[in-house]
Amino acid sequence: MIGIIGAMQIEVDNLLNDIENRTSETISGIEYNRGILFDKEVVIAKCGIGKVFAALCTQTMIIKYNPNIIINTGVSAGIITETNIGDVVIGNKVVQHDMDTSGIGDPVGMISGINIIHIPCSESVVKKLDRVLSDMEANRRIGTIATGDKFISDTEEIKRINKLFGAIAFDMESASIGHVCYVNDVEYGIIRSISDNGSEEAGEDFMQFAKKAAKVSAAVVKGFIKN
């Protein structure tokens, strides 16, 4: 069983359209679509935007459907000096950039309870996603994806997150999903197509770029499932 999570409808529609023998169930307001995709059993969900919805969706998916692997797919912003719109980022680590208990002596970003800052993604999943992108001849980067409950559009804040955590892309869900998978010992991977890299061009029509980027991410997930 492969679990697939996207935050927005545009991030899962390109996958739901191809699913066979589809059944759906709504739990806590989130719809889980189960079926067959390229001869593999999958469950696909749109979690909603933000860390809480992402964690809620992931934990429910693990308890209810027991996936062997969870893939988080979708779009994200990138660092203008590191990525271009349309590039694809594979997360090998995720970090919660808004986690901060430094007031009691902890490093910024450290997650209390598991006591780490960078949560590692599954090495085998990273390699398989990279192989798919290589076959697609897509521009790709492997690196840290930073997550926080804020849509960031300030260039200086982007630079700060990059400097502090070494992040090359940032969003509002990846590290939350990674956190839940990590504590449940479920393999997971993150694939993000860059829809905005802090440039003025990206700000002109976010949804236009996001729709194109979502199609790229979905194509990578399809390639992963096929192989």
List residues with catalytic annotation.
11, 196
Instruction: Report d(CA 197, CA 48) in Å as an integer.
Output: 22
CB crowding 137-154: b at 16 or more within 10 Å, else e: ebebbbbbbbbbeeebee
Instruction: Report d(CA 175, CA 194) in Å as an integer.
Output: 17
Closest CA to 38 of 18, 11, 17, 22: 18
Closest CA to 28 of 3, 2, 59, 4: 59
